[in-house]
Amino acid sequence: MRQVVVVGAGPVGLTAALLLARRGVGVLLLERHAEPYPLPRAVHLDDEAFRALQAAGVADAVAAVSRPMAGMRLVDGRLRTLAEFPRRAEDAVHGWPPGVLFRQPDVEAVLRAAVAGTPGIELRTGCRVTGLVQDAERVRLAVDGGFVDAAFVLGCDGAGSTVRELVGARLRDLARPDRWLVVDARWPAAPPVWPGVHQVSDRQRAATFMPIAGDRFRWEFRLRPGETAETVDLTALLTPWGATDVEVERAAAYEYRAAVADRWRVGRVLLAGDAAHLTPPFIGQGLGLGLRDVHQLAWKLAAVLSGQAGDGLLDTYAAERAPHARALIRVATLLGALMTGGGRAGEAARRAALAVVRRLPAAAALAGSSRTPALRRGPLVGRARAAGALVPQPEVLVGGRRCRLDDVLGDGWALLTTGGPELRVPTGEPVRVVRLGVDVGSPELAAWLAGRSVLVRPDRIVAATGSRRSLGRP
């Protein structure tokens, strides 16, 4: 019997397999497509999501096929700048650029190469999951006329998830769907452009433009009622950008949805990525949400499979991740409406919002930030102000060598302290004690700790802080 079967070999499923294998969990990865999907889909990740890729051992390779994103410009229908929200490298707190742009096929190639070189992972392509039954001990999947047994199944099979359907979970919409035309193109003769996202706020036709990587660019245009990818005048849409000599790779209509699954765990089956949630693209969190899912789920599954934690630990997955996903999806929906809403009401709302931004520099800084809401308080998140958020990742000095903090913390629980271990791990798992000034040196970390002891979870979320604070067992 397999320990974990991951259904879906997109970026989220591939990352899940790498995270599990690095913890000694055997993984069978099933993908219904015989070959990797060749066209772009996701194009953005922030520095928080890069912490998951770092834990999977692929962050440097992904960064090498990405380009830093300068931030976002809000422009009018004549492409004149209304406001700019920069993302500056010097403001990053997680050891990676605060935002990057990339082609998904390039990232998937990096992940597949890592999977191929990682013991403990078997990838099967061109196979379809057609059935699922489970009991208290195992899950049995029907796969192309045969059967596969596993202790747990992780459904990372996208928006049209077969796994979600087989366990009877449903997506619940948080807002009305919105139809957009997505255009991916090569533009070798493109003039120099600002290397960030351009959001067109025009009541006649909202749009988005971004330089992806190399000579590849993406446009997104809101479709009007009755318009389709086949009937819209693509040349007329691209002409204002001067893009009359592009090689279009894809022009397809997409329905942007805001939705969250009503159940993320059904027995021994768990959902992650687009199988669990769908978000409009306006804050670029679609793939990032999925990577955060599996960064958390990998250590919890490994702890349960190794016997270090009870099965109840898996109940904390949806309890933590679902509210976080809903919060980000609602932010994306709200900002999308604010930036692209049509009619006079939409223009009035934008004028009011821009007036606030111009008066308050802190509002502009927040708009350009990559930080996401902290996880809610619960069995694995204490009451401290820092709890529920990622621990910062400054560069630290270890034995005369500079490295990133996560590489020192290891794969499990860690206690950052200026003294002895004072906080216990709520799941009973082992903890690595990292003493500031003895094991590592970092003025940035010292300033952030401010004399506290900080308990850090394996997904780099702060669980608790303080000299005497502790958490109860789940």
319: nearest Cα among 388, 260, 389, 378: 378
User: Which of 244, 317, 228, 217 is closest to 276 using CA atoms?
Assistant: 317
Tell me the average pLDDT of the chain.
90
Q: How far apart are CA 113 and CA 7, in angstroms?
A: 18
% of residues, the chain, pLDDT over 90? 74
Q: Give per-residue pLDDT as tens, 417-456.
A: 987 667 889 888 899 999 998 889 999 999 999 888 999 9
Q: Specify the pLDDT at position 377.
A: 94
**Cβ-based neighbours of 27, under 8 Å, separated by 6 or more:** 2, 3, 4, 5, 6, 16, 17, 20, 21, 120, 121, 122
Q: Which residue has the higher pLDDT, 110 or 386?
A: 110
In the structure encoding, which two tokens stand for residue 97, read together?
A: 């650029």
Local structure of residue 373 (DSSP, 8 states):
P
- H or E segment at 306? helix 286-306
pLDDT tens profile 124-148: 999 999 999 999 999 999 999 899 9
Residue 319 has pLDDT above 50, yes or no: yes
Distance CA 362, CA 379 (A): 33
- SS3 assignment, position 16: helix
| Cα(62)–Cα(101) distance, integer angstroms | 10
Q: Is 152 helix (H, G, I), strand (E, B) or coil?
A: strand
Q: Which pairing describes strands 269-271 and 146-155: parallel, antiparallel, or unpaired?
A: parallel
Position 6 confidence tier, pLDDT thresholds 50, 70, 90: very high
The string of pLDDT tens digits covering residues 168-196 is: 999 999 999 999 999 999 999 999 999 99
Which burial class, exposed, middle or buried, applies to 416 when counting CB atoms under 10 A from its CB (0-12, 13-18, 19+)? buried
